[in-house]
Amino acid sequence: MKILAIGDFHGKFPVKLQRLIKSKEIDLIVSVGDYCPFSYRNLWFKHCYGKDVELWEVVGKKKMRTLVLKDLAAGEKVLKSLNGLGVPVISVVGNLDNANLNDQYAEGKWNRKNGWGWYEQDFFSKMIKKYKNILRFDYSYALVENLVFIGGFGHTSPGQVRSPAYKKYKKKLDNLFKRFRKENKEKKIIFVAHNMPNKTKFDKFKVKGKIEHYGSIMVRRIINKYKPILFLGGHFHENPGKEKVGETLVVNPGAAVDGKCAIIDYDEGKGKVKSVKFVK
């Protein structure tokens, strides 16, 4: 099976990648999410980073609505293009996709008393359901021929491992891997999440001159415990590549917005990855 791993579109799907998919006889596209661009990134970091305030409280609801709808339109344009390629697509959600998926913080952390219902709604779930050729499978699974794809998320940082949300979603992944125990032994499970596993070469980030690891602890623990044959993630644009974590081959295809992806040739009969080709 020829799998194209892709993600981190941020509102753009380069034509060269669309042409590549059509020319390489890809069997399956696996997306790690982040369809929307976060065009108001600078505003958010200026007014909200590390503070208990929402951006709409600073710029006003009217401007915030305009910013969000603009990002959603850009993200949906990518989904529409993916849907029209004629290749099956399976996808997990990215942290910029307005899905309100919270798998690492205490439940209710963001449900502030002075919240705004419109802004807090789950836009992504409604949007992706329009596209019948794209199957969303975070904290669920997708069966493609003889392979089982199990999806996660991992948010944007290591995670609060004692929080109810972390425990809830960790249990979901445990149950999925136990359900497909036989397939995992046969090297037929591919694990997919938006964030990379913690403490790898992929998740290094410099903060105030010090290197920190911002990958997901949950993703790392699942890989350590169940040892799937392959893991696909993203989020960290700076560090595309592959690395063995125990028995699992971990792949970050790079950001589609930068014209990057990865083509993985997987031998279903032998249960092994034959090759990984990075497109730059």
pLDDT in single tens digits along all 280 residues of the chain: 999 999 999 999 999 999 999 898 999 999 999 999 999 999 999 999 888 899 999 999 999 999 999 999 999 999 999 999 999 999 999 999 998 898 987 655 445 556 898 998 999 999 999 999 999 999 999 999 999 999 999 988 899 898 999 999 999 999 999 999 999 999 999 999 999 999 999 998 777 788 889 999 999 999 999 999 999 999 999 889 999 999 999 999 999 999 999 999 999 888 999 999 999 9
From the list 108, 102, 37, the residue with the least C-alpha distance to 71 is 37
- What the block records as the tokens of 179 is 């359900």
Asked whether the CA dihedral 112, 116, 119, 122 is positive or negative, the reply is positive
DSSP 258: G
Residues β-bridged to residue 230: 190, 249
- What is the distance between the alpha carbons of residues 258 and 200, in angstroms, rounded to a whole number? 22
In this prediction the pTM is 0.95
Topology adopted by domain 2-279: Purple Acid Phosphatase; chain A, domain 2 (3.60.21)
The 3-state DSSP class for residue 134 equals strand
Q: How many helices (H) and strands (E) does the chain have?
A: 9, 14
Question: What is the C-alpha end-to-end distance of the chain, expressed in Å?
Answer: 21
Q: Angle between the 217-226 and 164-179 helix axes, to the nearest 10 degrees?
A: 30
Phi, psi of 211 (to 5 degrees): -80, 125
- What is the distance between the alpha carbons of residues 33 and 154, in angstroms, rounded to a whole number? 12
- What is the distance between the alpha carbons of residues 253 and 243, in angstroms, rounded to a whole number? 12
pLDDT for res 235: 95
* Domain range list for the chain: 2-279
- What is the distance between the alpha carbons of residues 59 and 72, in angstroms, rounded to a whole number? 18
pLDDT for res 113: 57
CA distances from 50 to 8, 68, 75, 105, 211 (A): 24, 21, 26, 15, 19
